[in-house]
């Protein structure tokens, strides 16, 4: 049985205090872009830092901060899935998973059986004897999730790497998280940059903007209030029909770093670090090829025998002449940014979720001018 209590908690000097109780069996989605406060919220619950003000209690007790006490507290059933806690490079996949289970009191023979049965669900058993450096991006994400889920923690915290999975895997893992909540009476908290993908699974939602929790409540209540309603947003289509008409001014705001896809990995890394960008769009001339995260660049550097193009993401794109309903369905309703292209696949700019939502909100709240 688990319970999280937040009393007048503020993550920074300007955010409003948050009072919140999360109870056993709840599947919680943290909604917001990277850097908006979701990661800080998870780090606070994992005991990596304290809030600027207020108190955080887990099962009635303050989260310890002394190193030894914090380690013991986490081993009682608190786990974090994040890139800063990767698989151990010098161990095989199966040894990584067995080690995690042994730490949580599972005998080796039983651990092997559980691992084989679990990975068979995702056709990953052929990876058991691989080293982490041999895994591709999606395999690594899935195995980090399995490492945590196999241990059946009472409190499971998952950072934004969950949103890097394709839709089919996100749905599969949402079902697994939901089952963990129901069968083990655990609390699962996931940073989801695409809340619509988890709408039928998440019990509770916290929305973060600029380090502040701007909305929180049960998903159905927030949806009925119109906070996540894509249907309500669709009514704006009658006012403006094309992406160009509504969002032309948004494409020039905060453009993502653009790099030639033929660059070497170390050159791409230098370019991203200079502008402090964690993501870049890769172009072939004017044509959009894909995207590249800072994590993928680092993996490319570690595997210099492979060309950079092997690590490219296939980005969510939308054509500039598509109707606004498509923009909402693919971008705003799923809370993600879109790369805008023309019919020749030439990159026009990035359509960011927040400016688009601001435009749509204005259209919905102000009467049209005739």
Residues 112 and 118: their CA atoms lie apart, in Å, by 10
Final residue in a domain of this structure, among 168, 198, 224: 224
Kindly state whether residues 258 and 238 are assigned to the same domain. yes
Residues 198 and 189: their CA atoms lie apart, in Å, by 12
Kindly state whether residues 201 and 315 are assigned to the same domain. no
Count of domains observed in the chain: 2
For the CA atoms of the chain, what is the radius of gyration? Answer: 22
Kindly state whether residues 298 and 350 are assigned to the same domain. yes
Kindly state whether residues 18 and 114 are assigned to the same domain. yes
Here the CATH number for the domain that contains residue 292 is: 3.10.580.10
| Residue 236 included in any domain | yes
Res 197 pLDDT > 80: no
Taking a C-beta distance cutoff of 8 angstroms, is the pair 277, 253 a contact? no
Kindly state whether residues 258 and 117 are assigned to the same domain. no
Residues 268 and 311: their CA atoms lie apart, in Å, by 12
| Residue 269 included in any domain | yes
Kindly state whether residues 239 and 218 are assigned to the same domain. no
Kindly state whether residues 353 and 253 are assigned to the same domain. yes
Residues 238-294 pLDDT 10s: 333 344 444 444 454 445 688 888 888 888 888 887 777 777 888 888 888 777 777
Res 34 pLDDT > 70: yes
| Residue 369 included in any domain | no
Take residue 36 and report the two structure tokens written for it. 């908006």
> 197: domain range?
3-224
Residues 286-330 pLDDT 10s: 888 777 777 778 777 877 666 677 777 666 677 766 665 556 555
Residue 114 CB contacts under 8 Å (≥ 6 apart), including other chains: 101, 106, 150
Residue 213 CB contacts under 8 Å (≥ 6 apart), including other chains: 15, 18, 37, 41, 206, 207
Residues 31 and 37: their CA atoms lie apart, in Å, by 9
Report the pLDDT averaged over residues 56-70.
90
3-state secondary structure of 172: helix
3-state secondary structure of 284: strand
- Element (H or E) spanning 128, and its range? none
Here the CATH number for the domain that contains residue 202 is: 3.40.50.300
| Residue 258 included in any domain | yes
Residue bearing tokens 């289509």 = 237
**pLDDT category, 115, cuts 50, 70, 90?**
very high
Final residue in a domain of this structure, among 190, 224, 258: 224
Final residue in a domain of this structure, among 191, 224, 257: 224
Kindly state whether residues 172 and 315 are assigned to the same domain. no
């Amino acid at each position: 049985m688990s319970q999280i209590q937040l009393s007048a908690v503020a993550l920074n000097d300007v955010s409003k205090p948050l009072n919140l109780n999360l109870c056993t069996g709840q599947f919680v989605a943290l909604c917001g872009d990277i850097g908006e406060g979701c990661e800080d919220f998870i780090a606070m619950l994992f005991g990596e830092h304290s809030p600027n003000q207020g108190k955080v209690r887990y099962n009635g007790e303050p989260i310890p901060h002394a190193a030894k006490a914090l380690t013991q507290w986490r081993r009682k059933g608190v786990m974090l899935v994040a890139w800063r806690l990767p698989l151990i490079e010098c161990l095989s996949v199966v040894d990584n998973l067995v080690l995690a289970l042994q730490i949580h009191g599972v005998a080796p023979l039983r651990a092997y059986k559980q691992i084989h049965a679990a990975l068979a669900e995702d056709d990953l058993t052929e990876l058991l004897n691989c080293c982490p450096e041999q895994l591709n991006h999606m395999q690594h994400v899935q195995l980090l999730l399995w490492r945590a889920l196999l241990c059946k923690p009472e409190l499971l915290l998952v950072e934004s790497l969950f949103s890097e999975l394709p839709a089919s895997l996100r749905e599969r893992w949402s079902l697994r998280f939901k089952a963990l909540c129901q069968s083990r009476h655990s609390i699962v908290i996931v940073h989801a940059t695409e809340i619509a993908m988890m709408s039928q699974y998440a019990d509770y939602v916290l929305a973060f903007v600029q380090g502040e929790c701007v909305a929180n409540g049960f998903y159905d209540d927030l949806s009925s209030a119109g906070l996540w309603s894509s249907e309500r947003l669709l009514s704006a289509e009658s006012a403006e029909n094309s992406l160009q008409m509504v969002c032309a001014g948004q494409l020039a705001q905060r453009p993502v770093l653009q790099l030639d896809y033929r660059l070497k990995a170390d050159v791409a890394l230098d370019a991203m670090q200079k502008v402090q960008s964690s993501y870049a769009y890769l172009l072939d001339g004017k044509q959009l090829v894909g995207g590249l995260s800072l994590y993928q660049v680092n993996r490319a550097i570690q595997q210099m025998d492979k060309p950079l193009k092997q690590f490219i993401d296939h980005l969510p794109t939308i054509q500039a002449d598509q109707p606004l309903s498509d923009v909402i369905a693919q971008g705003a309703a799923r809370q993600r940014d879109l790369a805008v292209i023309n019919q020749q696949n030439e990159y026009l700019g990035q359509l960011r979720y927040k400016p688009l939502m601001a435009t749509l909100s204005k259209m919905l709240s102000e009467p049209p001018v005739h």
